[in-house]
Structure 1
């Protein structure tokens, strides 16, 4: 057992167990073996975490930006030093291959580094007044207590992507990680503890998301909620937070299209499509969910993608040579199976994969390609979050754009072409917050990340990310002219 029941909840600088003694169990999705127990906190303990953050807020908000920056720099270096330890833990609780986990730890640390720098660049503004005898300026102030609710698919990177800018801005935080993957969050909070972050600046609660979420939504002390997860839960948070008019930053579902034009580099397109679709077993919010290929190159592209899929090696992410791990749990596996069965029943053809894989006992599904796909299939409407991708031919660019935009989601879209004019024109017409042109890995700490339509509100990363935790105070001062 990696983490005991006494070491999973962190409130006001102390590691606590749940007063009730209740725990949540953490399982390795590659083997279905229990690897840990962490506290399942009560409503009262969640409220205590909020009170701790509120009590620490005034002092932390008055700490200079340089001082806040120094804590983030120290945390960055400590995460990099412990990359291997953190990566192995991440793989055990989440399932992704160890090499991917190492990349996630580096990605997570990059947000600490970026916001260590951005802490010093939160600027106000002087406004030329239209009337004599007035001076106008805008003063940035931290919003207050931030509730950060993070998902299981990137249990380290999504913590730092939210916590780092909030801390840099001068806010205090109550962190609620996904119940499937709390161990990475616990380790990151320990890093902050070890670098001397003052008590109450970051607080960690684990347990029932409904009970904890209710406290965070209803508390008037929580001024902002930042959440990554499903659109359905995001809507519940919006509704529950309305009574206190909280600021919300929501990174929600996606249904990313990938367009392959007939002038594209097909080797690059197939390689990147496979990397996007099957990374983390298809469990990423911006991974390719629908591939639209010009009919002139459909067969060639499909053959090249099949070759890439045949090179993937399913298994426990801790084993050498494994390139695709398990789905997170039984629910994730069942959803993938339902989508494939629905597609096949309506005429889709499985050209690779198409069935569950027993492996070492985890929640595995073979990397799968579907052709002869129609728009009435669930896979064309629902976010898959699994290793299955449909391929759909198109004849005209307008047809491809219309099909790509035919969804309530608008997080990310990808385009492969060697024609710059086509790339720019198509990019401008795609209704998505993130566009990758000949690139399926747009995520980086220095750029804004977020969606349109039902894919969310606000942005994470870049200089925009810290603004989610800032209020702008406008000051109008009347003076006597000398």
Structure 2
């Protein structure tokens, strides 16, 4: 484990060891892999590399636990979930520090809120119900629609929000009577392993298992005959592999994949007041979120002043180790992504596009640091506009006509999220309704909630997370017809 400073040590820190969680027990693995601290580029800890047999064991335990877990009432499962939230709350500080150490995000502004939101999510989901719906009730018969649990759910979770996006899946899956096996990203397995360990002291054996390891475990999960559903968050290309692999057993799928989200600042917008929201919508978590602003469209009438103000605000931010309370932008999470983001910078420079802030990586600095970079009005067919950068680079693109910018925003294989900004709310909503995305914010950014459905259109996803609609996808509809 990496040595921490006295200032860091003043905050609760889990020192390991890390174990797989299988059948209610903490299980070691015969192999391990390095987990890096992206702020230093050094090994942070060793994580257990689960074997194919251990994944099979976890699935078998989940299948066995499903019999009794699914037979519990909603109220009984709620009791367990609230107890789990309480247990996580007791470890909140250590989980947040661990999250910063392995993911890189600033502790106070990103890691602690992520852990807090995840715990709150469990508590709120625990209180929800899917009632039996009476479709018909007449003299001859009654027709009821029930929603029954699927069985074992396999969760494949990403490295950008490893706590929140995992527990987003855990809470509704368990509430509706399913059991779950999680495979965390090998880049950020530690917080997931830790909350898996905590779960074993609260939840019945086999209800929630965590098996970390390399990418080879993913195909085993997606093809596994005893896994009824895969809930996946990650890239579109990996999601396509999930679809192909899951087809053999006709698994239920929820896929939240890539995006190239556009923010449209309308001509009447009070753009000066929303600069901070737009900046953090693009650069928060070092630009590493699926629904981050990837393309920022600004009307020509205020383009020059907007760019100047945006750059001024961006220049006030501090890049560095997320454990430093003054840092607002952390590193890119891993070397693979760091190299991909650098390819965008190389392409921008090679094509003579105008960088008005950042753009230069300090080759002598340890860790995976990319400075906040603003690109002024790159062409529509450029790499930075057409592809998802997933890093702290934002292009600010000029437009003249609202119909044209809507067409440009929609000219993408992705359709995850987007945002529209303008004083005339009715006009902004009209624009939002024309965007081909699963979620659009109007004059706000990244508002989420347990009763707000979230899912992508086109190649950004299949199915929905959040909301009543998302909870239904952890169930099978069953129609029962009763003759009187």
TM-score using structure 1 length:
0.95
Partner of 1:124: 132
Report which stretch shifted further, 396-405 or 80-89: 80-89
Tell me the equivalent position of 1:152.
159
Partner in structure 1 of residue 116 of structure 2:
106
Instruction: Give me the whole-angstrom Cα distance separating, in 1, the residues matched to 2:175 and 2:273.
Output: 39
1:84 aligns to 2:89 (yes or no): no
Residue 197 (str. 1) matches residue 203 (str. 2): yes
For residue 269 of structure 1, report the CA deviation from its aligned partner: 2.6
- Match in the other structure for 1:172: 179
> How far apart are the structure 2 equivalents of 1:360 and 1:73?
44
**Structure 1 CA distance for aligned equivalents of residues 325 and 125 of structure 2:** 34
> What secondary structure, in the 3-state scheme, does the structure 1 residue paired with 2:127 have?
helix
User: 2:186, 2:213 within 8 Å by CA — same for their partners in 1?
Assistant: yes
Q: 1:439 corresponds to which residue?
A: 444
Alignment check: 8 A CA contact 2:19 2:197 kept:
no
Specify the alignment match of 2:377 in structure 1.
372
For residue 320 of structure 1, what is the aligned residue in structure 2?
325
The match for 1:51 is: 60
Count of equivalent residues: 471
1:137 is matched with 144
Q: Distance in 2 between matches of 1:31 and 1:82?
A: 25
Please give the alpha-carbon distance, in whole angstroms, between the structure 1 residues aligned to 2:57 and 2:121. 28
Name the CA distance, whole Å, in 1 between partners of 2:177 and 2:166. 17
- The 1-side partners of 2:146 and 2:175 are apart by 16
Q: Give the C-alpha shift of residue 184 in structure 1.
A: 0.8
Instruction: Report how far residue 347 of structure 1 moved.
Output: 2.9
Displacement of 1:82 after TM fit? 2.8
Matches within 5 A, 1:32-431: 32-99=41-108, 100-118=110-128, 121-128=129-136, 133-194=140-201, 196-210=202-216, 212-358=217-363, 361-431=366-436
Residue 62 of structure 1 deviates from its aligned partner by 0.4
Segments of 5+ residues of structure 1 without an aligned counterpart are: none
**For residues 276 and 158 of structure 1, what CA distance do their matches in structure 2 show?**
18
* Higher deviation after alignment, 436-445 or 409-418: 436-445
1:262 Cα deviation after fit: 1.8
For residue 8 of structure 1, the aligned residue among 19, 27, 31 is: 19
Cα drift, residue 124 of structure 1: 1.6
- 1:31 is aligned to 40
Aligned to 1:477: 482
Residue 447 of structure 2 aligns to a residue in which SS?
Answer: coil
Q: Is the 8 A contact 2:451 2:468 kept in 1?
A: yes
Deviation at 1:359, TM superposition (A): 7.2
| Residue 472 of structure 2, aligned match among 446, 467, 470 | 467
Separation in 1, partners of 2:238, 2:400: 37
**Contact 1:111 / 1:461 at 8 angstroms: preserved in 2?**
no
Is the CA contact 1:353–1:369 (under 8 Å) kept in the aligned structure 2?
Answer: yes
**8 Å Cα contact 1:110-1:445 kept in structure 2:** no
Superposed displacement of residue 358, structure 1: 4.9
Query: Could you say which residue in structure 1 is the equivalent of 2:9?
Result: none
Unaligned runs of 5+ in 2: 2-13
Deviation at 1:66, TM superposition (A): 0.5
1:174 CA drift (Å)? 0.5
Deviations 1:398-431 (A, max 9, x none): 0110111111111110111001221121011011
Q: In 2, distance between residues paired with 1:232 and 1:262?
A: 36
Conservation of the 8 A alpha-carbon contact between 1:347 and 1:373: no
Aligned-partner Cα distance in 1 for 2:82–2:16: 29
Distance 1:162 1:209 in 2: 20
Tell me, in whole angstroms, the C-alpha distance in 2 between the residues paired with 1:206 and 1:168. 24
Residue 332 of structure 1: SS of its match in structure 2? Answer: helix
**CA RMSD of superposed structures (Å):** 1.5
Structure 2 CA distance, aligned partners of 1:359 and 1:369? 22
Is the Cα contact below 8 Å between 1:260 and 1:269 reproduced in 2? no
For residue 150 of structure 1, report the CA deviation from its aligned partner: 0.5
Structure 1 residue 444 displacement after superposition: 2.6
- The more displaced of 341-350 and 316-325 is 341-350
